[in-house]
Chain A
Amino acid sequence: MQNAARPRNKIEVCNLTKRFGELLVLNDISFSVAEGEFVAIVGPTGCGKTTFLNTLSCLLPASSGQILIDGTPANPKRHNISYVFQEPTCLPWRTVRENVAYGMEVKGRPRKEIDERLDHILDMVGLTQCANLYPNQISASMQQRIAVSRAFAVDPDLLLMDEPYGQLDVKLRFYLEDELVNLWRKLKSTVLFITHNIEEAVYVSERILVLSNKPTRIKAEVKVDLPRPRDFMDPEFVRIREHVTDLIRWW
């Protein structure tokens, strides 16, 4: 699509390695992500996908190697890294609106800017009507949408998503994937999306990194250069999906 026009790499991961004692989980991983790119990461179950994300997000320290954002080592206090967890993680004592605002408040954005951005984003994901409800008054899928909105709201340098829609039924997932792509295109964030669902990866991303079994390294890289909105039945879509499936199957 617009790959040729990309000026520079936003994220650079150099020789990232993570050990838990003797157990080598991430084995010398290097890759880069361009600014505004949507990259999906797929891999077999238990290949260390979540460890991979946790290391990238600096929740876990890397054993060696480094992660550079705009050329400087990643640091949650300096950089804008957002994370959407597998489980919905709303703060139960904040309303929908306050939850979405939370990231911006921690970052110390001015109140006026927060309010404007909130109106914009809540409107985009259709949560305006429910803005004053508490998380225990809405369903789990809505809570996950809040987490996604909160992650986009801080205008992140890097948005990490850890199987955010893994628990949802197919219909709702399609709907939320469209919403996610829509948010990404409008807000131009850089997204790393982890999933075990290959169809989902092909549907949302521009590029797919296929991980190997433990010790994890990047086994292959697949470009997804399809027009949006994408069609699951499109022969090219099916071909890419089967190609990625084969890559995962034959490790």
Chain B
Amino acid sequence: MSQEATCSAASSSIANETVGQVVDRGPISLGRILTNRWFLHTVSIVAFFWLWDWLARSNVLGAGSSVLARPHEVLEQLAVLTREELAELTLWGHVWASTQRVVIGFSIAAAIAVPLGLFMALNRYVNAIVKPLFDLLKPMPPISWISISILWFGIGETSKVFIIVLGTFVPCLLNAYNGVRLVEPELYDVVRMLGGKRRDEILHVCFPASFPAIFAGLQISLSIAWTCVLAAELVSARSGMGYIIVQGMNLSQPAMVIGGMAVIAAAAWGTTLLVTALERKLCPWKRKIVGL
């Protein structure tokens, strides 16, 4: 904000125009509180948990406690899991097991798919070779590979990482590819006009211009990675969030199932925040104007 402030302060020229932040201060009234954004957020969240709790108490979904746990029961179950071990691991151990698989699979996929996507966009021979294979395998849901991966790699870590790599590969590659192909052609003209070589075009236009698309692909990949790890763990695992959910189901403990679901959501959200932070760091030019 300070930069813009000095900028508009020095507006001896008429072309310097900036927009500052406008805060609408008025008297507090009932109408303003009722239409306040944060008030409405609170209302919707409270209503959601109340409805959940009511459904669990009233047996609308069926008789017995094995159908739906109340919110506080889920929290208590999670607290128990952090203290007591399930299959020789506490809750944190299971969270770490899943996260580890996601991070390894996601990193392998990103390290191969992003450069490959960039190459495909920059070189039509690479494109001509890779694209048909890619198009052939692209529509196949990654989860359909679970059985064959267990046959190939057993029920250990490798088969789970394999599924994640397959699932995250597609969006990583597609976004890197499209990121380069959708660069505005005028920007190339700028480089060419100034006497830039092909290398300048790639380094100064292609790569920076495709960064936002690459990061969008990484975000999509990350959520797919969590889906894949969960699916793989549901099928066969001795650790991880999927294992907790399966155990909850086998033991008829909905609190454990819902707890597992909640924790996996939290973990996925955490990794998403990390990628967002990385993008902010690497693409400062994409930041919004402060105060708008």
Contact = CB atoms under 8 A, between A and B. Distances in A.
Interface of A: 57, 59, 76-83, 85, 87, 89, 91-95, 102-103, 106-107, 126, 129-130, 132-137, 139, 141-142, 145, 154, 171-172, 175-176
Contacts of A89: 186-187, 189-190
Contacts of A145: 15
30 contacts: A59-B189, A59-B193, A79-B195, A80-B195, A81-B195, A83-B190, A83-B193, A87-B186, A91-B187, A91-B204, A93-B208, A94-B285, A95-B285, A102-B190, A102-B194, A103-B194, A106-B191, A106-B194, A106-B195, A106-B200, A126-B12, A129-B9, A129-B10, A134-B285, A134-B287, A136-B286, A136-B289, A142-B17, A172-B14, A176-B15
Contact of A91 (B6, B190, B284): B190
B186 A141 contact: no
A142 B195 contact: no
Interface string B279-292: 00001111101000
Given A83-B189, A106-B191, A92 B285 contact: yes
B193 A93 contact: no
A142 B7 CA distance: 12
Contacts of A172: 14-15
Q: Sorted from nearest, which 5 A-B pairs have the closest CB atoms?
A: A93-B208, A83-B193, A134-B285, A129-B10, A103-B194
B13 interface: yes
Contacts of A137: 4, 289
Nearest to B284: A134
Interface residues of B, number: 35
If over half of A's interface residues share one DSSP class (helix, strand or loop), that class is named, otherwise mixed; here it is: loop
B205 to A, nearest CB: 7
B7 A130 contact: yes
Contacts of A57: 193
Contact of A76 (B187, B192, B208): B192
B196 interface: yes
Contacts of B6: 129
A96 B16 CA distance: 13
If over half of B's interface residues share one DSSP class (helix, strand or loop), that class is named, otherwise mixed; here it is: helix
A154 to B, nearest CB: 7
Nearest to B10: A129
Given A89-B187, A89-B190, A132-B3, 14 more contacts: A59-B192, A59-B193, A79-B195, A80-B195, A83-B189, A85-B189, A85-B190, A93-B285, A94-B285, A126-B12, A133-B4, A134-B287, A137-B4, A176-B15
Contact of B194 (A93, A107, A141): A107
Interface of B: 3-4, 6-7, 9-10, 12-17, 186-187, 189-197, 200, 204-205, 208-209, 211, 283-287, 289
Contacts of B191: 106
Contacts of A133: 3-4, 7
A102 B3 CA distance: 22
Contacts of B204: 91, 102, 106
Contacts of B285: 92-95, 134-136
Nearest to B14: A175
Contacts of B15: 139, 141-142, 145, 172, 175-176
A93 B282 CA distance: 10
A208 B17 CA distance: 33
A129 B195 contact: no
B17 to A, nearest CB: 5
A126 B192 contact: no
A169 to B, nearest CB: 10
Contact of A154 (B4, B194, B205): B194
A85 B209 CA distance: 19
Contacts of A77: 195, 197
A136 B208 CA distance: 15
A93 B283 contact: yes
Contacts of B196: 106
Contacts of B209: 92-93
A134 B4 CA distance: 11
A142 B211 CA distance: 25
A107 B200 CA distance: 11
A114 B190 CA distance: 18
Contact of B16 (A82, A93, A126, A176): A126
Contacts of B194: 76, 82, 102-103, 106-107, 154
